[in-house]
Amino acid sequence: MIEEGSKSSKSMVEKRQLFMEMRAQNFDVIRLSTYRTACKLRFVQKRCNLHLVDVWNMIEAFRDNGLSTLDHNAEINVSRLETILSSIFYQLNKRLPTTHQINVDQSIGLLLNFIVATYDSEGHGKLTVFAMKAMLATMCGGKILDKLRYIFSQISDSNGVMVFAKFDQFLREVLKLPTAVFEGPSFGYTEHSVRTCFPQQKILLNTFLDVLMADPPPQCLVWLPLMHRLANVENVFHPVECSYCRSESMMGFRYRCQQCHGYQLCQSCFWRGHASGPHSNQHQMKEHSSWKSPAKKLSHAISKSLGCMPMGEPPHPVFPEAAERPQDLAHTTTLESPSRLDEEHRLIARYAARLAAEASNSTQCPPTDLSFNFDANKQQRQLIAELENKNREILQEIQRLRLEHEQASQPTPEKAQQNPTLLAELRLLRHRKDELERRMSALQESRRELMVQLEGLMRLLKDEEQKQAVQTGTSPHSSPSHSASCTMPMPIRSTSAGSTPTHTPQDCLAGVGDDVLDAFSQGVPRNLRNDLLVAADSITNTMSSLVKELHSVDDGLEDEECNMRNGREKVSSLKHSGKRHSTPSF
């Protein structure tokens, strides 16, 4: 019971998180309800990362999740809604670069709780397909013109005429958004909302766009174009001083009084109703979303007065009055599956049947109308083909960049595993390095043993010289020829090669080669000390060469093999020199 209580409390906190963060922004200090509503919905849009999802990507997500074939009044549960939102945000992360990835789980949780709180306030756990489409198409990113064209395709009949009942249903769903952010008294739904927007009976696409994109738009939807203007001016800079707060620069909107000369306010001061001097809040203010220098204003005024530029531009391009097929982006998908192919076949069959019906009806029309419709359809098909090719190129480029990024981000060992030749070379170099280390260790041991033997031989020579000096009664250094001519007894071989002399000179010769014993027994005067020192120097040089070889292993296999040959030649010469000078073998 305790765990269930903690889970329910956590769920309540998550549901209220977005609204608590919105209240912390203190949007309620904004004086005008239109700006207040637009700022709140813009905050929800950015906090849920919906501003990163273009309307065309949203339409494609509807189609991928099978919503295009469902009836508008069909209901979906919260679990399926969560699945749809997951596909939307995971696809978004695939399009974004790695440095701009979003927290998918957090975005899904915030948006899911907002949708449920907006469209399922009674807790039924279900909402209609049309409500979800209307909400997501309104709150996602993209141009308002594209959004309105998609909305019109959902509320019009096969002849391209708006169905008032469907538009009324759209207003019911979309006006729940201001109510969800506590602006229901200003922009709530009423039964007269439809007629206040469209008093005439027949509404086509261009008329629909003219009304909703007019300045001003219908009162119930005045916040919708303002939300898009807010998104466009968030990073606009105006190098003008605010007449109230004296800020030397403005970001966002700039408002200029039409009565007070040179009086301008930043958006923060205007939204909060600040005024100073002779200016009053009752004065008419003009909203500016960009900055023009005085020189540009003068040239614009001259061009306008001389008639070099049109007096006014249409708010949107004029579209053909023929009925448009629903903009579900079924032709832009590159991934294919059996279910998707079946759905495409059904759509193609429906479209073919519609074309056949239009062809049968066109026989009763004048030839001029037939040619006009044919040209319009041909232009539409050409435009669709161009968009499909461009979309295909963009998807291929995205896939190529993703593969290059993944290959570049792989660590070096994985790259080595993908290259067998490089891996074989690395193994060979490691083997050579281990072999050199073992040989150097053996040479160090042999050098140590040789130095021990040299030390014993030096002591033996010194003792022998002292003995000869005592017998002859001369100085140890006076007659080197006599000291070298004495005969030496045979050594005792029971001692180790590395032992040091203790009592007799024979102990120092234990383990020494036969050539040295013959030299001492026969009394042949030889410069054995110099020969041994030369042998020791040769071993030291060989050791230095091997150390250099060991450090140069990483530079390449060819250099290492060359050094190995030099090392073998030096060791071979050292062996021959040892045999000539009677040094112990190693």
Between helix 104-119 and helix 2-24 the angle, nearest 10°, is 90
Average confidence score pLDDT of the chain = 75
The 10s digit of each residue's pLDDT in 44-93 is 999 999 999 999 999 999 999 999 889 999 999 999 999 999 999 999 99
Let me know: does 285 contact 255? Beta carbons within 8 Å: yes
Cβ neighbors of 18 (< 8 A, separation 6 or more) are 44, 47, 48, 110, 113, 114
Strand partners, 332: none
Burial code (b: 16+ CB inside 10 Å, e: under 16) for 78-87 equals eeebeebbee
- What global pTM score does this model have? 0.54
DSSP-derived secondary structure for 316-383: SPPPPSSPPPP---GGG-----HHHHHHHHHHHHHHHHHHHHHHHHHTTS-HHHHHHHHHHHHHHHHH
The 10s digit of each residue's pLDDT in 372-423 is 455 666 777 778 878 878 888 888 888 888 888 777 766 555 544 556 777 7
Can you tell me the distance from the alpha carbon of 301 to that of 128, in angstroms, rounded to the nearest whole number?
52
Location of structure tokens 């530079």? 555
pLDDT of residue 486: 37
The 10s digit of each residue's pLDDT in 36-46 is 999 999 999 99
Location of structure tokens 């220098």? 293
pLDDT > 70 fraction of the chain, expressed in percent and rounded:
63
Let me know: does 72 contact 128? Beta carbons within 8 Å: yes
Highest-confidence segment of 236-245, 424-433, 490-499: 236-245
Q: Which two tokens stand for residue 403?
A: 């593969």
pLDDT of residue 509: 44
pLDDT of residue 148 exceeding 60, the answer is yes
Using only the alpha carbons of the chain, give its radius of gyration: 47
Cβ neighbors of 96 (< 8 A, separation 6 or more) are 52, 102
Q: Which of 64-68, 103-107, 242-246, 307-311 has the lowest mean pLDDT?
A: 307-311
Reported as half-sphere exposure (CB side, CA atoms, 13 A), residue 296 has a value of 4
